[in-house]
Amino acid sequence: MSEKIAPLIKVCGMRNAVNIKEVAELYPALMGFIFYPPSKRYVGEGFSLPAGISRGIETVGVFVNESPSKVIETLKAVGLTTAQLHGNETPDECLQIRNQGFKVMKHLELMLW
């Protein structure tokens, strides 16, 4: 008999406080917020999480080619738990963020032949 594994659900790209609270009430495993200005889902300068998001939900900042110091500064300022990196970040840059106590999710592009 195989053991069933529940999927992790991540909802990403929200910017509106009311929408964020409504989604949080559904308890997804992760909620993502875009910190990449060219994105149409960019949260904008001065973004803050609405009060009342459950501590059981991982809150993820999505970044593209941002310096580790800026990622760390943003994660701390907003109160996020995780960095999701979608650029050309090096393993060392990922470790710099992780060594500050944050989780790191690194997007990798694989070419299979």
Q: What does the domain layout of the chain look like in residue ranges?
A: 10-106
pLDDT per residue as tens digits for the range 2-23? 788 878 899 999 999 999 999 9
Class at the top of the CATH hierarchy for domain 10-106: alpha beta
Binning the chain into helix, strand and coil, the percentages to the nearest 5 are 25, 20, 55
Q: Looking at residues 33-37, what average pLDDT do you find?
A: 98
What pLDDT shows up at residue 85? Answer: 98
Look at residue 8 in the predicted model and tell me its pLDDT.
Answer: 87
3-state secondary structure of 93: helix
Burial of 2 from C-beta contacts in 10 A (0-12 / 13-18 / 19+): exposed
Long-range Cβ contact pairs of 74-78 (< 8 A, separation 24 or more): 74/35, 75/100, 75/102, 78/33, 78/47, 78/48, 78/49
Q: How far is CA 71 from the centre of its chain?
A: 11
H or E element that contains 11: strand 10-12
Dist. CA 87–CA 71, nearest whole Å: 12
Q: What is the pLDDT of residues 40-87, one digit of tens each?
A: 999 999 999 998 787 789 999 999 999 999 999 999 999 999 999 999
